[in-house]
């Protein structure tokens, strides 16, 4: 693996999984992965692939995601997809909306493919948004996109579209908190720490971290 391409918060890979259920510990598998690479605050590349989980998915998952059993029947298995995805994220820190969910599936699928691994750290856009957009009525991705006035013209619950919207939300949050809207000043580690700061102390944390160094 390469060294990290950047410790900046505006140079990351934003990813999203669609899955057969809620937990890989209960035997659930990934059925689609989508990701967007951001470099210096600009989207520069995308990744999207379906993955055959080795069994049929439920009618609920078909309806929720729009991914059908027919689509998955001809999709490659994770053993083919995950090495390609590992190459895509190589050297980058990672962002996901409700990151613990996506990290659990990423780790689970990569454990099945010894040649696939990653070295980047995770940050959670959901936890960050709870601090930055405290007046939002909810912190689901679709609601936050509307709250932040981010244009949206697709369907949520497909991996690439959700990662695209999360990437735009992530960049909007960086612009909102950066001094003079200069996102290059925000370290990735600051966004990780922000996710754990009590809401009442967010402004003080950002002032001390970004303005006073």
Please report whether residue 178 resides in a domain: yes
Sheet containing 93-96, strands listed edge to edge, beginning at the edge strand earlier in sequence: 42-50, 30-39, 12-19, 93-96, 122-124
**Residue 184 pLDDT greater than 90, yes or no:** no
Q: Do 51 and 31 contact (CB within 8 A), yes or no? A: yes
Please report whether residue 90 resides in a domain: yes
Mean pLDDT of 23-52: 96
Residue 56 three-state SS: coil
Please report whether residue 6 resides in a domain: no
**Residue 106 pLDDT greater than 60, yes or no:** yes
Look at residue 5 in the predicted model and tell me its pLDDT: 66
**Residue 153 pLDDT greater than 90, yes or no:** no
In whole angstroms, what is the distance from residue 59 CA to residue 195 CA?
Answer: 35
Please report whether residue 2 resides in a domain: no
Look at residue 180 in the predicted model and tell me its pLDDT: 60
| Total domains in the fold of the chain | 1
* Across 33-47, 100-114, 178-192, least confident range: 178-192
Please report whether residue 46 resides in a domain: yes
CA 51 to chain centre: 18
- pTM, two decimals, is 0.94
In whole angstroms, what is the distance from residue 51 CA to residue 14 CA?
Answer: 19
Residue 79, by phi and psi: left (phi above 0), alpha (psi -120 to 50) or beta?
alpha
Portion of the chain with pLDDT greater than 90, in percent:
86
Cα–Cα separations (whole angstroms), residue 109 to 22, 55, 104, 119, 141: 14, 15, 9, 15, 24
Look at residue 2 in the predicted model and tell me its pLDDT: 45
Please report whether residue 100 resides in a domain: yes
Look at residue 157 in the predicted model and tell me its pLDDT: 80
* Across 45-54, 178-187, 199-208, least confident range: 178-187
**Residue 209 pLDDT greater than 80, yes or no:** yes
Q: Do 183 and 41 contact (CB within 8 A), yes or no? A: yes
pLDDT per position as a tens digit, 54-104: 999 999 999 999 999 999 999 999 999 999 999 999 999 999 999 999 999
Domain that holds residue 28: 12-211
CATH number at residue 183: 3.30.420.10
Q: Do 142 and 155 contact (CB within 8 A), yes or no? A: no
């Amino acid at each position: 693996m390469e060294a990290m391409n950047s410790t900046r918060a505006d140079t990351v890979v934003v990813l999203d999984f669609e899955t057969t259920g809620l937990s890989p510990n209960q035997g659930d598998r990934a059925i689609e992965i989508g990701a967007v690479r951001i470099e210096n605050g600009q989207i520069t590349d995308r990744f999207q692939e379906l993955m055959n989980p080795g069994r049929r998915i439920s009618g609920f998952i078909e309806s929720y995601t729009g991914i059908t059993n027919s689509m998955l029947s001809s999709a490659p298995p994770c053993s083919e997809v995950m090495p390609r995805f590992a190459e895509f994220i190589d050297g980058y820190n990672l962002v996901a909306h409700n990151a613990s969910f996506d990290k659990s599936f990423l780790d689970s699928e990569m454990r099945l493919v010894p040649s696939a691994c990653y070295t980047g750290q995770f940050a959670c856009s959901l936890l960050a948004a709870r601090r930055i957009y405290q007046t939002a009525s909810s912190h689901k991705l679709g609601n936050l996109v509307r709250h932040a006035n981010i244009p949206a013209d697709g369907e949520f619950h497909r991996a690439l579209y959700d990662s695209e919207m999360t990437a735009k939300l992530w960049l909007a949050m960086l612009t909102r908190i950066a001094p003079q809207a200069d996102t290059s000043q925000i370290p990735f580690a600051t966004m990780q720490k922000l996710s754990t700061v009590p809401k009442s102390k967010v402004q003080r944390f950002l002032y001390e971290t970004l303005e006073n160094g």
